[in-house]
Chains A and B, each alone.
Chain A
């Protein structure tokens, strides 16, 4: 147990407390789990208008060097050589068993790559990246920048008031923009299933920018609670829960993030395992699950088929405010993965009927 005093704070810490956030420890950081509006309200507001999240706990890394993309490909199954400048891609660091060390977003910049990694994995990822790329490339962790996520259908309307050109970005595009006199990296992506932006801003200008964004009537602050329910409804994996070092991208239904050329050529950790799973199928798959009734089913609950045989476990589960019902994800044995398959979830000694459904639970609303 980490004492609260040992927690790292983001540049927006004072603002969170001023806004009445409930702060919780998360991956070694003091983070807002919710504001006075509450998780349900924040979630719904994000889907209806726009929500501002502080995601400064995530690791931001800049890799400089002509060969940055090519060299980074030795760590991930994503096709980065084909990534044009200003384009972002979701990929993952893999281990020799094909397991996922972390999932991350890689953006091609004018002089290399800009990478955002999970807070809880930065201490694993960054040494791994350094070891593979230095000294030919320069790997720099940006510790003096905050990261804000402005998410929701109204996000573009709000942000284009500060920089009209952000409206021209498409989903998974990124660039540098002047926001109220501050040069920021703005990327049109997020973790909610909604249109929106992530904004990398110098730490000492972050609170002012956050205040400006929050002053728009469309925007409310939202915490980690809503971030989790939004991403779950969007069918997006949470590292350490839905994916980890024992799950492969194929099992996690992330085969779309494995480049065709990469699959054919290899040259990344775990290629043999991943290629074999693409050929012959994975032993299990991550699926969407809709429990019947209103009771949320939580992570760790055993999943049984109709014969009562355990076929997997729930990896994320909760109440989907937009769905208006409980939603979950979990791994099930291949062969029992088709949407419509009925399941039993065991929780608190009871069997609860459920059904496999296609992901996402709520359609993505990206700007294509």
Chain B
């Protein structure tokens, strides 16, 4: 299952015409303790770059942008009761939402893991 990354520290795991989206481990580390996640409603159509979710740490709220366009088909309801999962399992269990991919060509603009790791190395 190919996984793509954005410079804004989201990951996109693709399976057929579905994409599962979350934030990276680096992102959760930067945010600190996550206390709330606001997820998009199922059925919502999003365009690449739209504000799609909000993740709140104790200190501040951060927007999570849609890394690709599509229609929201599922949101991770478990995060409503356990937002702290984002700190423990950001790149797997604490996925945010799933999209029916609108435009597969957009995936080509994203980074693979090596490119993302290289991007992270430029940060500190």
Taking Cβ atoms with an 8 Å cutoff, the residues of A that contact B are 33-34, 38-41, 43, 225, 228-229, 294-296, 298, 318-319, 321, 326, 348
Q: Could you say which of A39, A294, A298 contacts B33, with CB atoms under 8 Å apart?
A: A39
B2 CB to nearest A CB, Å:
32
A319 contacts B32, C-beta separation under 8 Å: no
The complex places the Cα of A319 from the Cα of B55 at a distance, in Å, of 13
B38 contacts A318, C-beta separation under 8 Å: no
Candidate in B57, B58, B61 with the most chain A CB atoms within 10 angstroms: B58
Asked if B46 lies at the interface with its beta carbon under 8 angstroms from chain A, I say no
Candidate in B56, B59, B87 with the most chain A CB atoms within 10 angstroms: B59
8 A Cβ contacts from B32-55 to A: 32-33, 35-36, 38, 54
- Which residues of chain B are within 8 angstroms of A319 by Cβ–Cβ distance? 35-36, 56, 58
Report if A295-B32 is in contact (Cβ < 8 Å); known contacts: A225-B59, A229-B58, A318-B58. Answer: no
Chain A: interface secondary structure?
A: mixed
The chain B residue sitting closest to A41, CB to CB, is B33
In order of increasing CB-CB distance, the 3 nearest A-B pairs are A319-B35, A40-B33, A39-B58
The complex places the Cα of A38 from the Cα of B31 at a distance, in Å, of 10
- Which residues of chain A are within 8 angstroms of B60 by Cβ–Cβ distance? 298
The complex places the Cα of A196 from the Cα of B59 at a distance, in Å, of 24
B59 contacts A294, C-beta separation under 8 Å: no
The chain A residue sitting closest to B35, CB to CB, is A319
Asked if B83 lies at the interface with its beta carbon under 8 angstroms from chain A, I say yes
Question: Can you give 11 contacting A-B residue pairs, CB < 8 Å?
Answer: A34-B32, A41-B33, A225-B59, A229-B58, A296-B35, A296-B56, A298-B60, A298-B61, A318-B58, A319-B56, A348-B54
A-B interface contact total, Cβ < 8 Å: 43
A38 contacts B32, C-beta separation under 8 Å: yes
A222 CB to nearest B CB, Å:
12
| Given A38-B87, A40-B58, A326-B36: 9 more A-B contacts, CB < 8 Å | A38-B32, A39-B32, A39-B59, A40-B33, A40-B35, A225-B32, A295-B38, A298-B60, A318-B59
- Which residues of chain B are within 8 angstroms of A321 by Cβ–Cβ distance? 58
A295 contacts B58, C-beta separation under 8 Å: no
B61 contacts A296, C-beta separation under 8 Å: yes
A295 contacts B56, C-beta separation under 8 Å: yes
- Which residues of chain B are within 8 angstroms of A225 by Cβ–Cβ distance? 32, 58-59
Taking Cβ atoms with an 8 Å cutoff, the residues of B that contact A are 32-33, 35-36, 38, 54, 56-61, 80, 83, 87
- Which residues of chain A are within 8 angstroms of B32 by Cβ–Cβ distance? 34, 38-39, 225
A22 CB to nearest B CB, Å:
8
Report if A294-B36 is in contact (Cβ < 8 Å); known contacts: A319-B56, A348-B54. Answer: yes
The chain B residue sitting closest to A228, CB to CB, is B59
The complex places the Cα of A326 from the Cα of B56 at a distance, in Å, of 11
- Which residues of chain B are within 8 angstroms of A34 by Cβ–Cβ distance? 32
The complex places the Cα of A33 from the Cα of B57 at a distance, in Å, of 13
Candidate in A41, A43, A296 with the most chain B CB atoms within 10 angstroms: A296
A19 CB to nearest B CB, Å:
16
A295 contacts B36, C-beta separation under 8 Å: yes
- Which residues of chain B are within 8 angstroms of A40 by Cβ–Cβ distance? 33, 35, 58
- Which residues of chain B are within 8 angstroms of A348 by Cβ–Cβ distance? 38, 54
- Which residues of chain B are within 8 angstroms of A318 by Cβ–Cβ distance? 58-59
- Which residues of chain B are within 8 angstroms of A295 by Cβ–Cβ distance? 36, 38, 56
The chain A residue sitting closest to B30, CB to CB, is A22
- Which residues of chain A are within 8 angstroms of B58 by Cβ–Cβ distance? 39-40, 43, 225, 229, 318-319, 321
The chain B residue sitting closest to A298, CB to CB, is B61
The complex places the Cα of A41 from the Cα of B33 at a distance, in Å, of 9
The chain B residue sitting closest to A324, CB to CB, is B35
A31 CB to nearest B CB, Å:
13
The complex places the Cα of A298 from the Cα of B36 at a distance, in Å, of 13
- Which residues of chain A are within 8 angstroms of B38 by Cβ–Cβ distance? 295, 348
A294 contacts B80, C-beta separation under 8 Å: yes
The complex places the Cα of A229 from the Cα of B58 at a distance, in Å, of 8
B1 CB to nearest A CB, Å:
31
The complex places the Cα of A296 from the Cα of B35 at a distance, in Å, of 8
The chain B residue sitting closest to A40, CB to CB, is B33
A183 CB to nearest B CB, Å:
37
B58 CB to nearest A CB, Å:
4
The chain A residue sitting closest to B84, CB to CB, is A40
